[in-house]
């Protein structure tokens, strides 16, 4: 295994260039001082906004302050991620975080003030000042929460309860990340070693079924032992969601969660029901996997084993970038031109190095360009990670270039569409250009398992969340047994033919997303949307290319369902979901044929 490089050993053209945000720390400190001045100015409008002119003055100051803070925070975060061991950048990031807390406190009065206004008063303010047209959409967007806001006294009480009500999530995080210890497994030298999460993932992808079985039982052992404790934290989280929804006058916790994106509950229900109506392809894939692995029965610890043995493909970064470009040619000259330029323009931090943050992401402040962090290791997975993150980068770049600050940020609901479109176009390009049957099988297996994890598993989680919240609203007790009954039933529905070990019913106890309710369905709608868009593009539909680029340029200027509808994706209907499921079936058929 190669030792990670020192950052100084990496060529300049494979490192991002943060001087595009600030030429140095002196410029950062200058903007920090400006932010403090703007913060005091924004705070001074408390109890003084009594006209359109005053409202406009506050909003302009607040927007400038938000823009400046984003720039300060992103820069310090990116510097820190270059080498997390450097105390100077740790201090810089802490300083930025502290500023963020102060800013939030300084302008916390504005939302309650806005929602205390009568609509006629807000209309009058907007009529008085033409400059408020720029902020009009956001003001009315915020104003739609007015029916769900309580009296000032009650809002203050709820605000004070905020920290208390976050306890279930905090407690689970401490259990899951700090305190939990997994059982022992047999190491490579035959000695017993304590299992870690990283080790568990590697073992599940290995060919030794005895070790996979041992690791599965060791991994679940602490969750089973803590089932009642974790059930109480999850039940408390669900009860808080139900209580707050009732207090604020929402029909359900689900409706409250979807309210911000203007997504009707029928979209959520359609996703679940359409998937459950088309589970035959999953059954087919599980049968194929069982035969391919030569097993009489397939268990959960057999689901991650690659179906192509001894396959390795090394691809240097330069070749990977060129391969990605070739796969994305259907997106047109404008897209390709920016993507080509990004490679040598200080956007991407390519190599793993000592102290560098692990993983991959895309981030950047409005007014510069996106920055992409990679830890490229010359594997096929790294190629797909590159394509994924550059999808995010292109979405942000095109949005920032075509939208003002106020509407440039797109919502989480559509955030994974661009990244997944890139992945789908790339994998279809690779499938269409390789004659190597082993590579083809690997790619098909990769694509199938991506859909399985990003779509089927997330829909199952989404239905679990819906059921347990409905049980709570109906006054039913949420115990470990109650959670397990729901989870096991759903797992058997969404994974037909998989034989379940007793521990599996406690799968709910290890999912952090359940403490951020009704979030995971967005992964499923995202991949369904992306597959539909990519399929039309690959069919040569120029109209879809144009509407998709327009979507990328639209940022957050409209609600997400409307933006997607313009690309031909209507999530109010079953079609995008059924199209994804048909593709899944087709991919399984191709894998069987090989």
Distance, in Å, from the CA atom of 416 to the CA atom of 527, rounded to the nearest integer, reads 7
Asked if residue 514 lies in contact with residue 234, where contact means CB atoms within 8 angstroms, the answer is yes
> Of these residues, 82, 389, 416, 423, which one is catalytic?
389
Which H or E run includes 418?
helix 412-433
Distance, in Å, from the CA atom of 332 to the CA atom of 550, rounded to the nearest integer, reads 13
The reply to whether 389 belongs to the active site is yes
DSSP string for residues in 182-242: --EEE-TTS-EEE--HHHHHHHHTSS-HHHHHHHHHHHHHHHHHTHHHHHHHHHHHHHHHH
All residues at 6 or more sequence positions from 516 whose CB lies less than 8 Å from its CB, including other chains: 169
Residue with tokens 């090989």: 594
Long-range contacts (CB closer than 8 Å, 24 or more residues apart) made by 117-125: 117/143, 119/143, 119/146, 124/52, 125/51, 125/52, 125/55
Distance, in Å, from the CA atom of 551 to the CA atom of 419, rounded to the nearest integer, reads 13
**Residue 414 burial (C-beta neighbours within 10 Å; 0-12, 13-18, 19+):** buried
Distance, in Å, from the CA atom of 35 to the CA atom of 29, rounded to the nearest integer, reads 10
Distance, in Å, from the CA atom of 23 to the CA atom of 29, rounded to the nearest integer, reads 11
Distance, in Å, from the CA atom of 176 to the CA atom of 170, rounded to the nearest integer, reads 10
- Partners of 498 in beta bridges: 298
Distance, in Å, from the CA atom of 502 to the CA atom of 217, rounded to the nearest integer, reads 10
Q: Which two tokens stand for residue 313?
A: 């493909």
Q: Which two tokens stand for residue 525?
A: 């709608």
Which H or E run includes 102?
helix 87-106
DSSP reduced 3-state for 193: strand
Residues marked as catalytic:
389
């Amino acid at each position: 295994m190669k030792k990670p490089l020192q950052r100084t050993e990496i060529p300049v053209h494979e490192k991002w260039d943060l001087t595009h945000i600030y030429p140095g720390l002196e410029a950062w400190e200058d903007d920090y001082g400006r932010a403090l001045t703007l913060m005091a100015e924004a705070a001074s409008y408390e109890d003084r906004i009594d006209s359109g002119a005053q409202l406009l003055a506050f909003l302009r100051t607040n927007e400038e302050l938000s823009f400046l803070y984003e720039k300060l925070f992103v820069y310090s975060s990116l510097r820190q991620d270059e080498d997390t061991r450097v105390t100077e950048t740790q201090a810089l990031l802490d300083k930025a975080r502290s500023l963020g807390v102060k800013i939030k406190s300084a302008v916390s009065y504005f939302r309650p003030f806005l929602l205390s206004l009568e609509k006629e008063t807000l209309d009058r303010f907007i009529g008085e000042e033409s400059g408020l047209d720029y902020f009009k959409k956001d003001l009315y967007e915020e104003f739609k929460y007015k029916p769900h806001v309580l009296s000032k006294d009650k809002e203050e009480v709820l605000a004070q309860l905020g920290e208390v009500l976050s306890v279930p999530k905090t407690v689970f995080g401490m259990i899951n990340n700090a305190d939990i210890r997994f059982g022992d497994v047999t190491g490579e030298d035959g000695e017993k070693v304590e299992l870690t999460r990283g080790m568990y993932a590697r073992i599940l992808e290995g060919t030794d079924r005895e070790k996979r079985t041992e690791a599965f039982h060791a991994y679940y052992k602490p969750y089973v032992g803590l089932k009642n404790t974790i059930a109480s934290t999850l039940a408390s989280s669900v009860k808080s969601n139900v209580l707050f929804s009732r207090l604020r006058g929402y029909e359900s916790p689900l409706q409250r969660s979807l309210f911000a994106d203007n997504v009707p509950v029928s979209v959520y229900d359609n996703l679940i029901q359409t998937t459950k109506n088309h589970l035959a392809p999953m059954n087919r894939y599980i049968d194929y996997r069982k035969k391919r692995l030569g097993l009489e029965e397939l268990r959960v610890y057999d689901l991650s084993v690659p179906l192509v043995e001894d396959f390795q493909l090394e691809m240097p970064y330069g070749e990977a970038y060129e391969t990605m470009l070739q796969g994305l040619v259907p997106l047109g000259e404008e897209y390709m031109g920016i993507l080509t330029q990004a490679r040598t323009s200080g956007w991407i931090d390519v190599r793993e190095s000592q102290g560098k943050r692990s993983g991959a992401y895309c981030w950047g402040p409005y007014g510069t360009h996106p920055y992409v962090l990679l830890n490229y290791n010359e594997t096929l997975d790294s190629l797909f990670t590159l394509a994924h993150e550059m999808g995010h980068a292109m979405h942000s770049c095109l949005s920032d270039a075509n939208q003002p600050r106020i509407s440039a940020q797109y919502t989480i609901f559509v955030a994974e569409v661009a990244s997944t479109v890139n992945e789908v176009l790339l994998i279809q390009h690779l499938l269409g250009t390789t004659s190597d049957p082993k590579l083809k099988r690997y790619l098909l297996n990769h694509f199938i398992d991506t859909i399985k994890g990003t779509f089927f598993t997330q829909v199952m989680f989404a239905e679990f969340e819906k059921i347990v919240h409905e049980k709570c609203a109906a006054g039913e007790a949420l115990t470990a047994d109650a959670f397990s009954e729901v989870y096991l039933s759903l797992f058997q529905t969404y994974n037909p033919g998989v034989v379940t070990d007793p521990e599996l019913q406690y799968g709910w106890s290890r999912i952090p997303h359940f403490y951020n309710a009704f979030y995971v369905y967005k992964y499923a709608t995202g991949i369904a949307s992306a597959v539909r868009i990519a399929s039309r593009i690959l069919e040569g539909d120029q109209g879809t290319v144009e509407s998709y680029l327009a979507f990328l340029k639209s940022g957050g200027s409209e609600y997400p369902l409307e933006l997607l509808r313009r690309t031909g994706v209507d999530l109010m209907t079953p079609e995008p979901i059924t199209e994804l499921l048909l593709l899944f079936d087709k991919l399984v058929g191709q894998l069987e044929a090989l």
